[in-house]
Structures are given as C-alpha cells and as structure tokens.
Amino acid sequence: MLLAKKAASVSGVKPETLAAIKRVDAVLSVTFPIELENGQTEIIRGYRAQHSHHRLPVKGGIRYANEVDMQEVEALASLMTYKCAVVDVPFGGAKGGVSINPKKYSTRELERITRRFALELCQKNFIGPGIDVPAPDVGTGGREMSWIMDTYRQFNPTDINSAGCITGKPVNQGGVRGRTEATGLGVYYGVREFLKYDEVQKQTGLTGDIDGKRVVIQGFGNVGYWAAKFFEANGAKIVGVADQDCGIYNEQGINIDELQEYKSAKGILGGYSSGTIVPDSIKLIEADCDVLIPAALERQVGLKNVSRIKAKVIGEGANGPITPAAHDFLVKSGRVVVPDLLLNAGGVCVSYFEWLKNISHIRFGRMNKKWDEQGKAQLLSLVEENAGRKLTITERQQVIHGL
C-alpha cells in the first residue's frame, strides 16, 4: 500500500479518483457447516472481494490457506485490478479464499467444501462468465475449478456460457494448454527481458543472457517449480530451492525434475541427497546468487534480512514478497527488482485466453485455419520453384494442413 501511495503521488491523478480506486466495490463473507468423514461438523469461513467493476468480469484466484481473511482478499483483489491493467487484460480485479489447510482434508471433504463455497457464490451472484471469473491459487487447481464450474452449471442450467464462469480448468473441460505453467513461465520471460536492457546490465554487472546465471528459488509450488524448470532449460544453474520444510543448496546446480519427483513422492524436500540441507528455509534467500525468485508468500524480504540479500536481480514471483522499506533499500543499493504486478501476470494472460475461448464457443485456431494454410501454400510454392521439384499432394497436405 505504501508503494501504491508513492506511485499515486507522482501520477497526477485527482485525489477523488484515487479515493475511488482504493475502495473495494463488493465483498462477501460466508460461513457454512461441513460434515467430515469422521461424523463431526466443522464451520468453514470463506471470502470473495470484487475490487473494481470498471471492467467486467472481474478476475482473481481462490486460495485455500489458514491465514486467509477479509483484509487479505481485499488487498489481493486490488492488486489484481492493477495487474490486469499493466498487462492490458480487460478485467477488473477480484480475489477469494477459504480459511482452511487443504492438506488436512480428504478429497471428498475438499469437494464438499469447494462445492458449498461455490454455491454460496452463486446464490449471492458473485460468480458467472460476465460477472466474476474465479481461478486457481495457492492450495487449489484444476480439480477444484472443475467442481466450481459443475456447481455453477447446476445452479444456472440455461447459461450457454457456463464454461466461462471460471478459468484454470483441465483441458478436457474447457481449459487451455499452458495454463498450469503460465505464471512460472511468465516469471522466466520477465527476468530474461529485463536482463536485455543495457541499464540493467550496467547496474548489476550481469550479461544479458540467462545462460550461466545462478538462481535461487524460494517456494517450490506451481510457480516456483515451473520458473525453476524454464530457467534450467535455458542454461541457468539453480543453486538453491527453498520450500516450507527446508531448503536445498548445491553450488553445482540442482536437477529440478529430479527434485520435483522427490517432493511428489515424499511430500517434502527434507532428505534429498543431492545438495546441502538448509533447515531454516528462509535463510536460503540470503545465498550468493545472480537472480533470486521469491515465489512463496508475501513479506519474505524485510528490514530484518534485506541487508543480507546478495542477489543482483530479484524477481517477485509471489504477491508482495518484498516489503516497501526493503524495496527502497534494494533499489538504493543498486539491485534490480522486477515487480510482481508484471512478473507473475502470466496466469492472468492465459486465463483471459481461456475465457475468450469459452465465451466464443470456437476452439483456438479455427478462425485462422484457412489463412495459415494459404500462407504455407504460397511459401511452399516458392520453395518448389527454387528446388525444381513438385511435391506430391500428400506431401503438400502434410506441410500446409491447418489446425
């Protein structure tokens, strides 16, 4: 919020306009009982905040975590509005959450919780392809999004745009390929592009290539894993990975797919043998590296540890991982901070494409199929002319056939 105030002070925007921008248009707080498999009943609390209706629908993830509260979802909904504006996606911002630890519930219990929360959203008119488009966030994924979509369809059986009521769905239920890795891929792209600027290279002393860069990733969930994977695939060396239970450090580089297989099997990073275990995982963000990607929780870099940060470039993969005071310290000390508003907006962009696909009722590629085929045919004719040989009909079809 302090950074937002600082930005507003130099924007030239009228105070009354800023006051309107800061307010949240609509909030929903619900509680509902859920019967657990052991026969006990638990009261669940959920939230949804719609920050700005200046553009509809509003868009934002649904998070499952113990620390979820109304203040958090309001702040993150505001952030989503600004993020959509930065990447020119025509959505307002929203955010939701359910105050639970999803790991303590069975699949059946999680389904009950998700469907009941979705029902509350439907009854209060807080969900729909032209109103509010929830998406996955921490603790949720395609499975939960499918449950919400199914609940919305039952509540709105005549809505032909029901597939557009939510994004982040599995591909076979109206989702799009690439949604899972979109945010992590966006983190990689953002850092890569920033390194190409001469002023960034001059300030950091780094070259403009990803190849050879030493990277530390904090948070080995969906965003952290995919960011690490793309950095590694393009020549970077992942020297550190931190997660909830501990961190792993290896100056020679960590095999990301091997580490992911280990975590999938064990549930934790502890015990992984190819590297040094760092018991207090937050200490790993102080490791010597070229690029630091905090992709876990908010407020991970503050005044208590910012003076020990050695990374030359810090890419905010999570929402608000650096406090305003720590941000100022890093900038004054010559570090480059790539902000979360831009860097982790890859998921927002791909969600927009999924929404467009759903409400247009046309699969990707259908509209430009003939155009692509025509261009390929012209190019192929030029190649044949210069090669002095005509391709067979089968060969031509294999080359020019559209999607």
Alpha-carbon span 313 to 293, nearest angstrom: 9
Alpha-carbon span 292 to 310, nearest angstrom: 9
Q: How far is CA 360 from CA 352, 357, 396, in A?
A: 12, 5, 31
Q: Enumerate the active-site residues.
A: 95
Both tokens of 278, joined, read: 């760092």
- The total of other beta-carbon atoms located within 10 Å of residue 193's CB is 13
Alpha-carbon span 289 to 315, nearest angstrom: 13
Continuous H helices in 46-181: 70-86, 107-123, 142-155
Distance of CA 52 to the CA centre of its chain: 20
Say which residue the tokens 């507003």 belong to: 8
Alpha-carbon span 329 to 309, nearest angstrom: 10
Q: Torsion angle, CA of 89/91/93/98, rounded to 10 degrees?
A: -100
How much is the CA Rg of the chain, to the nearest whole Å?
23
